[in-house]
Amino acid sequence: MKLVSTSRILHRQSSRFRDLFFSTETLTSPSPDSLYERIAVTGDPKISVVPVLEKWVDEGRSVNKVELNLLIRKLKFLRKFKHALEISQWMTNRRYFELSPSDAAMRLDLISKVHGLEHAEKYFASISNKLKALKTYGALLNCYVREKSVEKAEALVQNMKSMGFATTSFPYNMLIILYFQTGQHEKIDILMQEMKEKGILHDQFTLNNQLSAFASASNVRGMEETLNQMEKDPYITIDWNTYAIIANGYIKAGLFDNALAMLKKMERIIITQRSTTVGLDYLLSLYSSMGRKDELYRVWNLYKLSGKRNSSYCCMITSLAKLDDIKGAEMIFKEWESNCAFYDFRVLNRLLVAYCKNGLFDKAELVLQKAVVGRTPYASTWNILAMGYVENKQMSKAVEMLKKAMLVAREGWRPNLATLVACLDYLEEKRDVEGVEDLVRLFRATGPLSRDLYHRLLRIYLAAGKPSSSILDQMKVDGLPINEETQTILKTGQDLQVEMLD
């Protein structure tokens, strides 16, 4: 029985907490011909939005800091981090708006997402002491937690303490999240005791994090005592996340009646708070973990008129597939397909995973052929079939699907490495040099090659008697100089060619 990841439930609440900490403004809907509308059409992250900003100003249109900050937040919400960062930098470089600590915190977070943690640290070191306020320290701490960098996070919190920036629950909650994610549950109790000694209240986030640690360790007594504490505290409002965490813990401990009671409480909160589109997915996943197909359909039909999101259809299809109800999964997919305003291939992907897992490749290809008429599927869609065919030892089909995946891949997307290696092994065994070259060329378009892939190419070229100088040159360009392993491959290949001549 596969459980719902407690960290997945915790991730949503911790993300929401970080958003509350860094954000104080309200998103509004853009007006027609707004700056947002012009930038939104620039979908490719490789295309800069700076010319759009410059053109807007050249037309004599006004732009102020509040509007730009709202635009940055909207793009961040849509995960268009590079464009959001460009606007943040344009604000100060071209419009000369003065940065606030909140602005610097947002920019630091965007730099970490676009360029990585090291660049974010350099940015933090470069800003003035005036900007190194609680929010910028919090943004850097968030980066460390996201990267699971325990030592750096602990050192930063110690620095925050010395500067008087650790008087609220925020830095403690972030460390608790980090300790939970890295399995250092023993440190959570120490932190919570420290909070108690310093008079820092255990808020809802703190206690939910502790619950998650107890659930992960199947510490039923700890869960129940914490829940009892939360239910008695008049200042804590328990939401559906809390009951989801406890239900997951009960399921892990095999206490299904207890879990069912928590799911009923969770469902009542979802109904009361009218948050069905938020909590429904977790509710379905947890019922699936218990093998309760009857509850799956009951919940699904109960919320039939509540305006389900695509994610709910994804969750329902996956949940039914886990319970080997392929016909049910097909029925839900057809319900979505007949009503969807926008064809989201992520929903189809869930059905394809179910088909491949059950060896129903004819059905998978048939439904995909229908879906691609007039549409371009995601790279992940083809990749699912490639992985399925590898698992089923249909390697020629796997290679075909993998090529299709890489042909439509967006920047940053890369195929499953095990699938790529399996396909390369198959082509290498067949001595299909051109096939290997095609796959590697397509893979290279999604990002740089690893030394292992270059070495694989070298072996194939040498075995086929082809010159290897072009590969060696490209390795140097990619910062991979010849090492001992490379020299061994070259020598082995040369010896093989001499034997063939003899």
**pLDDT digit string, tens, across residues 227-282:** 998 989 888 888 899 999 999 999 999 999 999 999 999 998 887 766 556 788 88
* Residues in the chain with pLDDT values less than 50: 13, 16-17, 20-21, 24-32, 498-502
Instruction: Give the pair of three-digit tokens for residue 302.
Output: 């109960």
CA torsion angle 11 178 20 172 (round to 10) = 140
At a CB cut-off of 8 Å and minimum separation 6, what does 293 contact?
A: 320, 323, 325, 328
At a CB cut-off of 8 Å and minimum separation 6, what does 399 contact?
A: 386, 423, 426, 427, 435, 439
Alpha-carbon span 17 to 285, nearest angstrom: 23
∠347-73-312 over CA atoms, to 5°?
20
Alpha-carbon span 370 to 350, nearest angstrom: 16
Q: For the chain, which residues make up each domain, given as ranges?
A: 448-502
Q: Which of 87, 123, 78, 79 is nearest to 105 (CA)?
A: 123
Q: Calculate Rg over the CA atoms of the chain.
A: 27
Alpha-carbon span 371 to 347, nearest angstrom: 11
Instruction: Give the pair of three-digit tokens for residue 306.
Output: 């509540």
Helix boundaries (H) for 303-407: 310-322, 326-339, 345-357, 361-371, 379-391, 395-407
The burial of 10, by beta-carbon neighbours within 10 Å (0-12 exposed, 13-18 middle, 19 or more buried), is given as: buried
Q: What is the pLDDT of residue 276?
A: 59
Q: What is the pLDDT of residue 500?
A: 44
Alpha-carbon span 402 to 264, nearest angstrom: 44
Q: Which of 6, 313, 309, 39 is nearest to 183 (CA)?
A: 6
Place of tokens 């295309």: 47
